[in-house]
Amino acid sequence: MDSVDLEVLKSSVRWLEEGHRALLVTVVKTWGSSPRPEGAMLVVRDDGLVVGSVSGGCIEDDLIDRVRREGIGIVKPEAVKYGITAEEAHRFGLPCGGTIQLVLEPLTEASCIGALLAAVERGELIARTLDIATGKATLGPASATDGLDFDETRLLTIHGPRYRMLVIGAGQLSHYLCQIAVGLDYQVTVCDPREEYTDTWDVPGTVLVRTMPDDTVLDMKLDERCAVIALTHDPKLDDLALMEALKTRAFYVGALGSRRNNAARRERLKEFDLNDAELARLHGPVGIYIGSRTPPEIAVSILAEVTAAKNGVSLPTLLQVEGAKAAREQAASVGSSCDI
């Protein structure tokens, strides 16, 4: 789930414990363009304080104004639509005449929000089913491919880490990359058998393992919602992870290194019986070209490429590190020849 939506759950539980009433708002359907996806949430406190987002801001303003004027008057969930007419779409800031449907849910003990938050914080993937007629919610296990479902009588939402990331190496770059990845709501595992690196690992929200990388890949049973990034610069470790990861359904497998090192890596991996299709899945040099030099900048570059792959976006060659650097060298060569 989105890290913003996790803050919604935390605020909901805290406000209820403090004796406030709270209204949970969930995007259940969109038509046309919409600033936030289905499943996005916000919570409004009985005094108008709000956490989360369901639009560009205008719908939030309307909900806050309604709560401040009328309080949280509803006693059971109800569905509402914004932006049905062009005038409303303009008023509520919905682009291209988009329409958004929301479920407004007054939170009570029957909402099971506390239990939901506890399960999510344990790293579990949870399905929450809300009965619209009664406001009672039930919790159960979910799979990574489950999604939101709303049929006017019940609302099914999925909560918890939907994507996993395996990072090979616990060095300085990994610190920055994992901090951002946790913020992007990945369930992050860092694998490094080297004590000199693992003894100083201190990134909250990550799991550190000291097993060998190939064993770790096999143990994690990687699926299409997993990313693997090798960052040690040590072929004895990176190659072990890559030779197994490239055989899985992981949506992203990448390795840090120069163009020369990555070419050599591909030749080595051929010795592990990887076929051309599997080798073609390897992202390397890893990241997009943004002129990054420092570890934090390199981490941003790598996660930008991972995000594009996660969202099914095909990056043009000039955005990829290898293509961009080759183009620069070609341009420099042409410039030199013109000077002669």
pLDDT digits (tens, 9 = 90+) for 191-204: 999 999 999 999 99
Residue 97 reports pLDDT greater than 70 = no
Q: Which helix (H) or strand (E) holds 54?
A: none
Categorize the per-residue pLDDT at 311 as very low, low, confident or very high, splitting at 50, 70 and 90. Answer: confident
The pLDDT of residue 5 is 83
Residue 132 reports pLDDT greater than 60 = yes
**Alpha carbon of 77 to those of 38, 96, 107: distances in Å?**
17, 29, 9
Taken in order of first residue, the domains within the chain and their CATH numbers are 3-159 (no CATH), 163-323 (3.40.50.720)
d(CA 201, CA 213): 17
The side-by-side arrangement of strands in the sheet containing 50-52 is 50-52, 41-45, 22-31, 99-106, 78-82
* Cα angle for residues 60, 66, 68 (degrees, 5° grid): 100
The pLDDT of residue 331 is 65
Tokens linked to 233? 């610069």
Select, from the ranges 48-52, 222-226, 287-291, 326-330, the one with the highest average predicted confidence (pLDDT).
48-52
Cα 13 to its chain centre, rounded Å, is 23
**Per residue in 146-186, pLDDT tens?**
889 999 999 999 998 778 999 999 999 999 999 999 888 88
| Longest CA pairwise span in the chain (Å) | 82
**Per residue in 22-78, pLDDT tens?**
999 999 998 766 667 889 999 999 999 999 988 867 888 889 999 999 999 899 999
Q: Which helix (H) or strand (E) holds 310?
A: helix 295-310
Residue 335 reports pLDDT greater than 80 = no
The residue with greater pLDDT, 211 or 223, is 211
Taking the CA of residue 218 as centre, how many other CA atoms within 13 Å lie in the half-sphere pointing to its CB? 8
The pLDDT of residue 4 is 76
Average pLDDT, the chain: 88
The pLDDT of residue 183 is 85
- For residues 218-224, give the mean pLDDT: 92
The pLDDT of residue 83 is 77
Residue 94 reports pLDDT greater than 70 = no
Residue 248 reports pLDDT greater than 60 = yes
DSSP state of 200: T
Cα 37 to its chain centre, rounded Å, is 13
Categorize the per-residue pLDDT at 124 as very low, low, confident or very high, splitting at 50, 70 and 90. Answer: confident
Judge if pTM exceeds 0.85: no
Q: In the chain, which ranges are E strands? A: 22-31, 41-45, 50-52, 78-82, 99-106, 126-131, 137-141, 149-150, 154-159, 163-168, 186-191, 206-209, 226-230, 252-255, 282-283
The pLDDT of residue 49 is 96
Residue 140 reports pLDDT greater than 80 = yes
The pLDDT of residue 55 is 80
pLDDT over 90, % of the chain = 62
**Per residue in 271-308, pLDDT tens?**
888 889 999 999 988 999 888 889 999 999 999 999 99
Tokens linked to 151? 């049929």
DSSP state of 277: H
